[in-house]
Structure 1
Amino acid sequence: MMHRAREMPFDVTSGRDIFVPALGGLIALAVGIGIGRFVYTPILPVMAAGLGLSKFSIGLIASANFAGYLVGALLASRTSLPGTRRLWLLIGLGGSAATTAAMGLVQSMWAFVALRFLGGIASALVLVFTSALLLDFMAHRGRAGFSAILFAGVGAGIAVSAVLVSSLRATGQSWQTLWLASGLLSVVGAFAAGQMIPTRTAVPVSETAECAPPPGRPLLGLVLAYGFFGFGYVITATFLVAIVRGNPAIRELEPLVWVIFGLSAAPSVALWNWLATRLTIPGAFALAALVEAVGVLASVGWSTTTGVFAASVCVGGTFMGLTALGLMRGRELARGNARQVLGLMTSAFGVGQILGPSFAGLVFDRTGSFIVPSIVAAIALAVAAALVLIQRRPSS
């Protein structure tokens, strides 16, 4: 077994040595996930209208991103990966910004698929290496609560990019401009994150590798639950704006829906972390999955202003909470190299995400509705909740 290298401490011992890297992690996740993965949703209706894309084509482009996410997660879980965790984080940030901007420079369906695939790889690298680097760093200093700052980045990125896209759309800008502007915002964020996550936090990836123990039943149950969660949330997260745009009764709410989604996500990790201290992490995960299922059903079954906002809050306010709770629970159960477990969980999550958009797009093209896919997604979330509770053990 290889000995685990210790992270080098920061030069300062005040709260700044935690807050600044946490803020850098927030910005990193805003770039790699909030913008890199989710800006597709508010741009999607304009892009589809401009290019005449079918729902299946839209779902295929989204699934390509999630397939790349799976590949990136598998890459990140390799114990023989050369370089430092921070280096791979920076590679992910740069790749996310570049592929986001490049979406505004092409018009071929297969170019979109290729770029979103590469962008998915970059997003996974950002999530896995930001989480592995900073969650360990915070835990070793007894500041695990700062993870709420870290994971708030996804919601912040969604909200900021939604405002940017809505503002540009209001001035009549093309879908190409929306992508280019989002890419420029990502470049600025990537540079800021790189400055705030110091080089001295990094050690060679290979030096942190340990022989991972065989996964126990609770960990296997968690991995499966994480996969069902990936499928359960992604259909609404991909098509929510398109659902609103396609309904004349609520179409005027389209510019607001994704902003509310992002604003709900930003504080959600802190809320679900607080609930986890009272319900345990598995209990909070199960509750969040059921709340999200309600939001998924509301998106297609409650076509009013209240219903749309409820869907945005329930799904936006839980998906990052579930992500954070799952990763924290995985780290608890790892008993070895946390990065390998986080990579395994992210892989399962990626499989669910790949299946969701293509399945929903195919069903929509045949039925003209997202009702059936959303019902299946809600069932998947209920299964995720059950799996975590069945395998529940007291948190260490």
Structure 2
Amino acid sequence: MAAAMGFGRFVYTPILPGMIEGASLSAADAGLIAGANFSGYLLGAVLAAFGWAAGRERTVAIGGLLSTVILLAAMAIVDGLAAFTLVRFLAGLASAFAMVFTSSIVLAHSSRSEAVQILHFGGVGFGIALSSALVFVIGLVAGDTGHGWRDEWTGSAIAAAVLVMLALRLLPHPTAGQGAMREPPLAWDRPLVLVTASYGLFGFGYVITSTFLVTMARNASAGTTTEFLAWLVTGMAAAVSLVVWRGFVRRFGLVATYAACVAAEAAGVLGSVLLPPAAGALVGGLFLGLTFMAVTAYGLQIGRRLAPRSPRRALALMTAAFGTGQIIGPLVAGWLAEASGAFTLPTVLAATLLGLSGALVLPLLAGPKESG
């Protein structure tokens, strides 16, 4: 998860300000590249919902991880908007396969081990924190050459390769019978529809901050140290977020915790533009880290429990809904920022949709309370 998500998906955020300056990208260009990555993620999630990988989950997951390393390195070599967009599209496809199939294996192995689930999803935060430190150090060494962003992509590929080698040794094989049967089609009852719609709106709401947080800090002249700390805080908070929310889950259940996380993220998103630049970047990063992996973990757990006969299909199609929101989010944000000259308008829109996301799951609170 650290390799595929922390680096493969999210290292774009701290590298983006250098690319905007060194590769002469506009905010709309940056949003298009991010949207392409999320389009690949959506395609991968949709493809994962079918039964073609039954019995081959580990092989597909490893293929996604190895492809992630290659595509990180490719970003340091290619040039031009079209090439960046294509490479990030393929990287999204690779990270989706890694996310869906490693999660299906790990969640099946650890259905009664909260610690393993926390470690698994916490890997994303670890990767984000590590990538933030790596990009900061490379930036200091490279200086203001205009090409330091290429070194940052190369360094990220090397770091991800080390993480993938560890994953190859640690990722278990599917449990006996897991994936041997094709799952039946999903039964789309009202609770599953509400959770899936909420999850998709969260994808839109969180992705604007997760894509442009460091760029917003640079545009506000918050300083390179603040840029580094904002993304570092995001990763560190994400790594421990499931531990932080654990007591809340045990007392109030998965659905209430999910809704609380979405509400907290909405507050953090607003804070990122309403507070002074340095404080806004740090608060936005902190609340983003504390919530987005918790929403991911708890949302997928809720979906699996609402579809006990087709848990892998539920996981994949909820991920597809999330991916749809992620595609639209950076595109809209880039266009609105380009038109308005700032990220305030798209960020307020994101916070509004996060509020709707939380409201959609409130009817589920009337059901039985379940702990994680």
Equivalent position SS for 1:168: helix
Structure 2 gap segments, 5+ residues each: none
Structure 1 gap segments, 5+ residues each: 1-28
Instruction: Give, in whole Å, the separation in 1 of the partners of 2:90 and 2:277.
Output: 37
The match for 1:384 among 352, 357, 365 is 357
Contact 1:84–1:203 (Cα < 8 Å) also in 2: no
Q: 1:185 is aligned with what amino acid?
A: A
Contact 2:67–2:94 (Cα < 8 Å) also in 1: yes
The match for 2:314 among 315, 326, 341 is 341
Residue number in structure 1 paired with 2:140: 170
The match for 2:49 among 74, 77, 102 is 77
Contact 2:227–2:281 (Cα < 8 Å) also in 1: no
Contact 2:44–2:92 (Cα < 8 Å) also in 1: yes
Contact 1:135–1:144 (Cα < 8 Å) also in 2: no
Instruction: Give, in whole Å, the separation in 2 of the partners of 1:261 and 1:80.
Output: 36
Instruction: Give, in whole Å, the separation in 2 of the partners of 1:200 and 1:222.
Output: 27
Instruction: Provide the aligned length of Structure 1 versus Structure 2.
Output: 365
Q: CA deviation at 1:118?
A: 0.6
The match for 1:152 among 122, 128, 137 is 122
Q: CA deviation at 1:272?
A: 2.2
Matched, 1:315 2:288: yes
Instruction: Give, in whole Å, the separation in 1 of the partners of 2:190 and 2:123.
Output: 32
Contact 1:56–1:361 (Cα < 8 Å) also in 2: yes
Residue number in structure 1 paired with 2:189: 216
1:260-282 residue CA offsets vs partner (Å, 9 max, x unmatched): 11111110022223311111111
Q: 2:170 is aligned with what amino acid?
A: M
Instruction: Give, in whole Å, the separation in 1 of the partners of 2:269 and 2:176.
Output: 40
Equivalent position SS for 1:106: coil
1:289-325 residue CA offsets vs partner (Å, 9 max, x unmatched): 0110011011111124333321111111111111111
Contact 2:183–2:313 (Cα < 8 Å) also in 1: no
Aligned-residue sequence identity (percent) comes to 40
Equivalent position SS for 1:317: helix
Instruction: Give, in whole Å, the separation in 1 of the partners of 2:246 and 2:181.
Output: 27
Instruction: Give, in whole Å, the separation in 2 of the partners of 1:155 and 1:30.
Output: 7
1:151-181 residue CA offsets vs partner (Å, 9 max, x unmatched): 1000000000110110000112611111011
Contact 1:34–1:153 (Cα < 8 Å) also in 2: yes
Give the 5 Å matches for 1:287-302: 287-302=260-275
Equivalent position SS for 2:19: helix
Deviates more, 1:74-83 or 1:331-340: 74-83
Deviates more, 1:125-134 or 1:301-310: 301-310
Question: Over aligned residue pairs, what C-alpha RMSD do you find?
Answer: 1.6
Instruction: Give, in whole Å, the separation in 2 of the partners of 1:109 and 1:258.
Output: 25
Instruction: Tell me which stretches of 4 or more aligned residues in structure 1 moved more than 6 Å.
Output: none
Q: CA deviation at 1:81?
A: 3.1
1:206-255 residue CA offsets vs partner (Å, 9 max, x unmatched): x2322134121111100000000000000000000000001135565122
Residue number in structure 2 paired with 1:182: 156
Matched, 1:353 2:326: yes
Q: 1:289 is aligned with what amino acid?
A: V
Aligned pair in 2 of structure 1 residues 114, 210: CA closer, same or farther (>3 Å)? same
Contact 1:61–1:113 (Cα < 8 Å) also in 2: yes
The alignment's TM-score, normalised by the length of structure 2, stands at 0.94
